[in-house]
Amino acid sequence: MTPQHQAGALFILGFDATRLDTELEMLVERWRPAGFILFRRNIESPRQLADLCHDLRRLYPESDPPLLCVDQEGGRVARLRRPFTELPSARLLGRHHARTGSLELIVRAAAITAAELTAVGINFNFAPVMDVDSNPANPVIGDRAFSHMPESVAEIGCCQIQAFQQQGLLACAKHFPGHGDTSSDSHVDLPLVVKDRTALDALELLPFRAAVRAGVAAIMTAHVLYPALDQIYPATLSQPILTGLLRDEMGFDGLIVTDNMEMQGVWGRWPADELVSRGLAAGCDLFIGGGGGLYGQQPQTHIQFSLMQALTEQIEQGRVSADRIQASLRRISAVKRRWLAPIESQTKAEALRRIGSAEHQQVADALADASTTSETINAIQTANSDRRG
């Protein structure tokens, strides 16, 4: 691999097109990125998205497909809108679980997400959010979290992880070690969580420990400072947090993925060269670029290319060891082999018929009412049983 390809292999890139074009083909040829993150600006329809994902895959060896990623949490953070099934926010899922004590519809909703994403060729979902909704003043998490109780976040999040991955869709627990108790947004600032280690263990870290035990494929870092864990660097750049805590103490052997490196929690606070060197030293396997913003509408910027070029130069100058690069590449390959489903031998029309079906919409409608009763759940189960029979 050339130094450029070695650097690119650790990046998930954004782009502005809705179809494969010469510029995108040249980007792949030059950088050979690990994959791409899709935003609303890339999506026009299920068929168009399926064509785009297919065309991106064919630029890579069949044995080593690109990671085609999206933020499809449900609620306000969902890149795929109608005619895809629009599922309610994590908060509503949590309220449903609190009222009914049932995970049945929540598991089915996660299975719907997995079915519709994989139908168009997406294989990596940056969900679930495992942050705890513990600060009412939080400007960015709020209804993206399942609950203010860490045990509930752990239970609901882990059932989503398992439902995604059983269908060959990689799951990503975020934002480690917890973005729920911040009063600022890492898109525009560097948030601070001032808690001692005992308090972090009891609240923020509990859901992530559960996600590790559940076998989550990836964990996304938070651009948040935790002085009890590292007084200088946010989690994304912190060796004590990512290697010491997540890898060594918690035993996580999957992918460590950064939150978007264009967010102002990191970008502009350290130069590109230091961001990639410290991120690698901390334990990151994949860096995310590509613009988008919280709602996925902003265009890509030069930032992702600045970061890749900085890493290329470090590789060329021997400032990054080949062993460190290979360690991340091995993890990426291992996760693909373990979790990614083979491309199904079905026609495109058959795959696209899954999207926004009446059965899927019935589950979404039931969950949208946070007071859904066990009788409603039973009625849906009975109707689906009759349909299958």
Q: Are 258 and 236 in contact (CB under 8 A)?
A: yes
The catalytic site residues sit at 187, 259
Q: Which of 1, 52, 4 is nearest to 25 (CA)?
A: 52
Token code pair at residue 109: 């909703």
Could you give the C-alpha distances from 298 to 40, 73, 186, 289, in angstroms and in order?
9, 19, 16, 12
Report DSSP letters for 211-261, one per residue. Answer: HHHTT-SEEEE---B-TTT-SSS-GGG-HIIIIIIIIIIT---SEEEEEET
Three-state SS sequence of 155-183: HHHHHHHHHHHHCCCEEEEEEECCCCCCC
Q: Return the DSSP state at 263.
A: S
CA torsion through residues 203, 204, 207, 213, sign: negative
| Cβ(156)–Cβ(210) below 8 Å | no
Phi, psi of 59 (to 5 degrees): -80, -5
**For residues 66 and 121, what is the distance between their CA atoms, to the nearest angstrom?**
10
